[in-house]
Structure 1
């Protein structure tokens, strides 16, 4: 299997599959493929065998069904385009390294990678951590491709070193990194700061990868351009019209 990541702002993951080779993706990620690549809906790939394992993947932000793409009668090509501006990052998974990824981050992987939910360390984390802190755990043996939005910043945390991060900016991090929820300091910051109520404390050792453009932030930024003024033209027309009006 050969993987090429093409483009810059809106990258595309292009996979050249050898005969019989396959790749697993969440449901509905396909952009284009050659005619000899077959699609199969499955619940048993990516560690999803059994009802409980499937539920763990769903809880982490994945779907009940996954799609397997396999080349038949010779080599084949399949491509997956990013959904928002950002990066597609390849990560090698093995028994000594598993990673935790934000809930929309897993784009594709080889069949040996298992996908499940990363269990929260407290009930408060699950209730108030927000959309950005529902995490997927990727483990097993193989290669995964992770989609992260905006620009990326990496830090290698030493033992005991901590970074406080807004939940939506958490892209992915090594399993050796401990994660806990903490509150924004100061009552005035909590009430009037506008940055939310909780932060994620990531404590090393291990690498963390932070994303600059959480999807909720992007949606909030676009909100003034879609709404009542869009009229019968729909949301897309409202965005274009508002931009033309300055």
Structure 2
């Protein structure tokens, strides 16, 4: 079933989904806003398909102890991946009963939301925390880009992967910008914090700019250690956001006077006496 949804709002958008009887949608913890009384809510550790099914068949209770053990191991691996990536360990599932139901979701930052439609031919990858909600027919996974660097959980290395068919709702900070590297010679370079999502087929990498040169020393003195650039190559849709989480945090810190140093604080202090 196609997920009927409407994205409303301006500076802080939300997605209002209308569920048909028996239709299920799931979200990450902290993204749920409201629901009608006929929509049930259940918390599960595993993603779609990881909970035991009723009846026989592959992956169901009819598979015996072997099937249950495989399900348990699959759920444990999925939870372990999410813990390693710093994601919430549980999903919340919402199912309509006794007629149509309504449930609302939102991201955690001021900005846009987007509904992506998966038809099974291509997966989508999204940056950590971009995921808001999806139909139960959409499978959620964690992809570590950059090999061992991905284990560190650094920005730009942990990706969320969506496969299957159905609707996925994502969110970002600021406004969305849609690009295709093929329109720019096949390659674009962007701040890792600006990436929201991209289609399968786009080659993704991360390079570090800034070393022990003059610029690198200046970055270190003033609180940075260089700049990470993501390289996106190929032919496919890329969604960027106009605001980074780091930029928003720095702006809020300055607005609250958090960047000010006392008479004895900071690297450079002034003494009057």
Which category describes the TM-score, using the shorter chain as reference length? 0.7 to 0.9
Q: Is the 8 A contact 1:3 1:15 kept in 2?
A: yes
After superposition, the Cα gap between the structure-2 partners of 1:221 and 1:133, relative to the gap in structure 1 and judged at 3 Å, is farther
Secondary structure of the equivalent of 2:180?
A: strand
Secondary structure of the equivalent of 2:120?
A: coil
Secondary structure of the equivalent of 1:100?
A: strand
Partner of 1:152: 176
1:87 has 2:112 as partner = yes
1:68-87 deviation digits (Å, cap 9, x = unpaired) = 01111211111113322211
Partner of 1:190: 216
Q: Is the 8 A contact 1:45 1:66 kept in 2?
A: yes
TM-score by length of 2: 0.75
Instruction: Report the Cα distance in structure 1 between the residues aligned to 2:150 and 2:96, rounded to whole angstroms.
Output: 42
1:114-125 matches, cutoff 5 A: 114-124=139-149
What's the offset of the Cα at 1:126? 4.5
1:25-40 matches, cutoff 5 A: 25-40=27-42
Instruction: Report the Cα distance in structure 2 between the residues aligned to 1:94 and 1:56, rounded to whole angstroms.
Output: 25
1:67 has 2:92 as partner = yes
Regions of 4+ moved over 4 Å: none
Secondary structure of the equivalent of 1:221?
A: helix
Secondary structure of the equivalent of 1:149?
A: coil
What's the offset of the Cα at 1:40? 0.3
What's the offset of the Cα at 1:119? 2.1
State the superposition RMSD in angstroms. 2.4
Q: Is the 8 A contact 2:156 2:206 kept in 1?
A: no
After superposition, the Cα gap between the structure-2 partners of 1:218 and 1:140, relative to the gap in structure 1 and judged at 3 Å, is same
TM-score by length of 1: 0.83
1:140 has 2:164 as partner = yes
1:114-155 deviation digits (Å, cap 9, x = unpaired) = 11111223324554x733442111112211001111111111
Instruction: Report the Cα distance in structure 2 between the residues aligned to 1:28 and 1:183, rounded to whole angstroms.
Output: 32
Instruction: Report the Cα distance in structure 1 between the residues aligned to 2:147 and 2:47, rounded to whole angstroms.
Output: 29
Instruction: Report the Cα distance in structure 2 between the residues aligned to 1:93 and 1:179, rounded to whole angstroms.
Output: 20
Instruction: Report the Cα distance in structure 1 between the residues aligned to 2:150 and 2:189, rounded to whole angstroms.
Output: 14
Secondary structure of the equivalent of 1:206?
A: coil
Secondary structure of the equivalent of 2:82?
A: helix
Which structure would you say has the larger Rg?
2
Unaligned runs of 5+ in 1: 229-246
What's the offset of the Cα at 1:17? 0.8
After superposition, the Cα gap between the structure-2 partners of 1:191 and 1:138, relative to the gap in structure 1 and judged at 3 Å, is farther
Partner of 2:24: 22
Q: Give the one of 189, 202, 206 matched to 1:181.
A: 206
Instruction: Report the Cα distance in structure 1 between the residues aligned to 2:99 and 2:141, rounded to whole angstroms.
Output: 32
Instruction: Report the Cα distance in structure 2 between the residues aligned to 1:214 and 1:133, rounded to whole angstroms.
Output: 16
Q: Is the 8 A contact 1:22 1:110 kept in 2?
A: yes
Q: Is the 8 A contact 2:115 2:170 kept in 1?
A: yes
Instruction: Report the Cα distance in structure 1 between the residues aligned to 2:150 and 2:98, rounded to whole angstroms.
Output: 48
After superposition, the Cα gap between the structure-2 partners of 1:116 and 1:57, relative to the gap in structure 1 and judged at 3 Å, is farther
Secondary structure of the equivalent of 2:215?
A: helix
What's the offset of the Cα at 1:112? 1.2
